[in-house]
Amino acid sequence: MANGYILCSTPRSGSTLLCDLLTSTKQAGQPNSFYRRQSITEWAAWWGLPGRETMSAGAFDRLYLAAAVQEGTAGTPIFGMRLMRENLEELSDILDGLFPRLPSDCARLEQAFGPLVFIHLSRADKLAQAVSLIKAEQSGLWHVAPDGSEVERLAPPAEPQYDFKRIEREQAALTAFDRAWEVWFQKEGISPLRVVYEELADDPAGTLARLCQALGVQAPKPGDVKPGVAKLSDALSLDWMRRYHTDLSANG
């Protein structure tokens, strides 16, 4: 049985939905992005850790790792963490400083977090993923509850604006991140559990049951599975995708 899992993902692939579902079991940890570089200072403050400037980098990294393990375990038998591909190398460097001379990223991760299951969450429709990401960045609204109330807003409300070139760039970047995960899995000899956003959105209870089985914990009854966030795709999203296809054809 694994000590934990790492949810390997990309932005707007349903990772918040899946993290919430896993947390809701109260048996599979409390996964979050503990090593997202922009959030480390916030997490450290939340955990009441001394400031980085008060100690050596190594001392801070050791305290931070212990706090992250405690937060990601949350009193359950299993540790959970979400990791975006763009943060992998930075995390590996931190762990290499704590556990030097280990032969691989996987060895460093398992030294830090114990035996792991790797879950690869991807989104098949890269156009929809890119549109979702751009809308969230422009509007400031990242997640809403099933009743429509705001769950996560990172900026004041603003009107999203269609941008063909930006959609094109984001599609390429998201595709590159997924490919980079695949290269890393192959390099590390990892056969991840694979979850596709479209299947997760259509059948959250079934997807959660499959993951619970792999993690060795009891899955909740299907009727008890209540997603904590709702889809943000709307008529504007569909309009942007239609306009993108039209512009793509016009541009050859």
Q: Which residues contact 166 (CB under 8 A, 6 or more apart)?
A: 134
- At residue 151, the pLDDT reads 85
Residue 106 has pLDDT above 60, yes or no: yes
User: Per residue in 17-39, pLDDT tens?
Assistant: 999 999 999 999 999 999 999 99
Residue 182 has pLDDT above 60, yes or no: yes
| Average pLDDT rounded to a whole number, residues 83-108 | 97
| Average pLDDT rounded to a whole number, residues 114-140 | 97
| Average pLDDT rounded to a whole number, residues 103-125 | 97
Residue 236 has pLDDT above 70, yes or no: yes
- At residue 29, the pLDDT reads 97
Count CA atoms closer than 13 A to 96's CA, side-chain side: 10
Cα(76)–Cα(28) distance, rounded to whole angstroms?
6
Count CA atoms closer than 13 A to 225's CA, side-chain side: 21
Residue 216 has pLDDT above 70, yes or no: yes
Cα(179)–Cα(173) distance, rounded to whole angstroms?
10
H-state helical runs in the chain: 15-24, 40-46, 57-73, 88-98, 105-113, 126-139, 164-188, 197-202, 204-215, 235-250
Cα(193)–Cα(210) distance, rounded to whole angstroms?
10
| Average pLDDT rounded to a whole number, residues 136-156 | 91
What pLDDT band is residue 252 in, cutting at 50, 70 and 90? low
Cα(68)–Cα(32) distance, rounded to whole angstroms?
9
| Average pLDDT rounded to a whole number, residues 118-123 | 98
What pLDDT band is residue 11 in, cutting at 50, 70 and 90? very high
| Average pLDDT rounded to a whole number, residues 170-180 | 97
User: Per residue in 66-81, pLDDT tens?
Assistant: 999 999 999 999 999 9
User: Per residue in 35-68, pLDDT tens?
Assistant: 999 999 999 999 999 988 999 999 999 999 999 9
Residue 2 has pLDDT above 90, yes or no: no
